[in-house]
Amino acid sequence: MPQELHHKDLEDVIYGATLLGAGGGGSTSIGLSFISQIQKEGKSVVLVSPDEIKDDALVVVPAILGAPTTRNKHIPALSLIKKYFENVEKRTTDYVVPLEVGAGNFAVPIHAAAWSNIPLIDGDGAGRSIPSLKLVSFEMHDIPISPMAIAKTDGNGAILFVNNTEWAEKICLQILVAFKGNAGATFYPMTGRQLKDSVIPGTVSLSMKIGSILRKVREEGAYLPDIFTEELDAYVLGIGKVKSIEMRSSKSTSFQKTVVRTERGNLEVYATYGKVGFETEEGEQETLYTNENIIAKLGERILTIAPDLICWSTTDGKPLTNTDLKEGLDVVVLGFEAHEKLRSEKALTEFRRIYKEVGFEHLEYTPIEEII
């Protein structure tokens, strides 16, 4: 049954999505600002399970290109793609679905659902935050990224038709620079049948559950490692203090290495580290980062390998992204099993390239449940 999400539910979703973002996906504070605007304007969000929608329904993915600092960036692009389908293909846009997990990644489609009065699908295209569109489950199921819309908040925009995702990324980056970082996009239009075949289901409701657990830790002082292992089948990779954070970049590698001092020794977490800079409309320089956790290592022993999730929280229940980390911070490092769709050979081929980027050229994936 469709479920109306209230303010506390949406806050829990953002906190949970921060954790499941596996280091990336945008900050909690930005995500909460979207939720606050929904409450302030008296809007509502209805969550729908993928198996409840019709096969011929039209589903689209709304997103913000650039940092989600302006809460309405995505609305013009969503409006543009809706007009395209209504006027050209005589179809109504029925649902929106998130591209990937993360506080910002979830806040945008939630906000779009509220403002456009379109139900939100309980699922996404990755089950975590990811460093490449090639890892989106919609992409791996050969769902075309276009026709797609890209637009500024002032309404200037375009409908794009591209042959592949690589061209979409190239064109969108150039438009983003021209728009000075002020742009939204809507892409991967798909049928209900295509969505059911490709989506990672249940990730919005899972984020809401995780968020409620984190709230319990913060408000009642529950012991985070125990409650996560008991209620979510999470793996506790380490508990300790952040010892160091360093960025490494060369011609062949670029990554963030975070070291956590634990009772069992130093736990090393390796994350992607990429950045794109552009000038905003205010004349300021803004930098976008990719920063998703890929490998966790204790001494010489590999503990977790992406696509499985490596997630951060403070010991008192505040979820963290990689940009939130500070030396001396007390943290819990959690591992989660990735959805089987991200464990396909097609996905692992792309992940092997990413292993190389973070300094592990010959590493092969082993599921977390076989390691720990």
Cα dihedral value 210, 317, 43, 202, nearest 10: -10
Q: Are residues 237 and 353 both part of a single domain?
A: yes
- CATH number (domain holding residue 300): 2.40.390.10
- The yes-or-no verdict on residue 370 having pLDDT over 60 is yes
For residue 21, which of 358, 269, 319 has the smallest C-alpha distance? 319
Q: What is the pLDDT of residue 176?
A: 84
For residue 150, which of 136, 139, 162, 133 has the smallest C-alpha distance? 162
Q: Are residues 157 and 264 both part of a single domain?
A: no
Omega before 68 within 30 of 0, i.e. cis: no
For residue 275, which of 285, 293, 287 has the smallest C-alpha distance? 287
Q: Are residues 180 and 38 both part of a single domain?
A: yes
Within a domain: 211: no
Q: Which of 152, 171, 201 is the last residue of a domain?
A: 201
For residues 138-163, average pLDDT:
94
**Which residue in the block uniquely carries the two structure tokens 């990324």?**
169
- pLDDT, greater one: 301 or 282: 301
Q: What is the pLDDT of residue 288?
A: 54
State how far the Cα of 139 lies from the Cα of 142, in Å rounded to an integer: 5
Within a domain: 210: no
- The yes-or-no verdict on residue 75 having pLDDT over 90 is no
- The yes-or-no verdict on residue 72 having pLDDT over 80 is no
- The yes-or-no verdict on residue 71 having pLDDT over 70 is no
The total number of structural domains in the chain stands at 2
For residues 327-333, average pLDDT:
98
Q: Are residues 195 and 232 both part of a single domain?
A: no
Range(s) of the domain holding residue 163: 3-201
Q: 169, 93 in Cβ contact below 8 A?
A: no
Q: Are residues 235 and 300 both part of a single domain?
A: yes
Q: What is the pLDDT of residue 63?
A: 92
Q: Which of the residue ranges 228-237, 242-251, 356-365 would you say has the lowest mean pLDDT?
A: 242-251
State how far the Cα of 346 lies from the Cα of 353, in Å rounded to an integer: 12
Q: What is the pLDDT of residue 274?
A: 72
- CATH number (domain holding residue 79): 3.40.1610.10
- The yes-or-no verdict on residue 37 having pLDDT over 60 is yes
Q: What is the pLDDT of residue 92?
A: 97
- The yes-or-no verdict on residue 97 having pLDDT over 70 is yes
Q: Are residues 181 and 233 both part of a single domain?
A: no
Q: Are residues 245 and 182 both part of a single domain?
A: no
Q: Are residues 40 and 156 both part of a single domain?
A: yes
- pLDDT, greater one: 68 or 126: 126
Q: Are residues 190 and 247 both part of a single domain?
A: no
DSSP string, 200-246: EETHHHHHHHHHHHHHHHHHH---HHHHHHHHH--EEEEEEEEEEEE
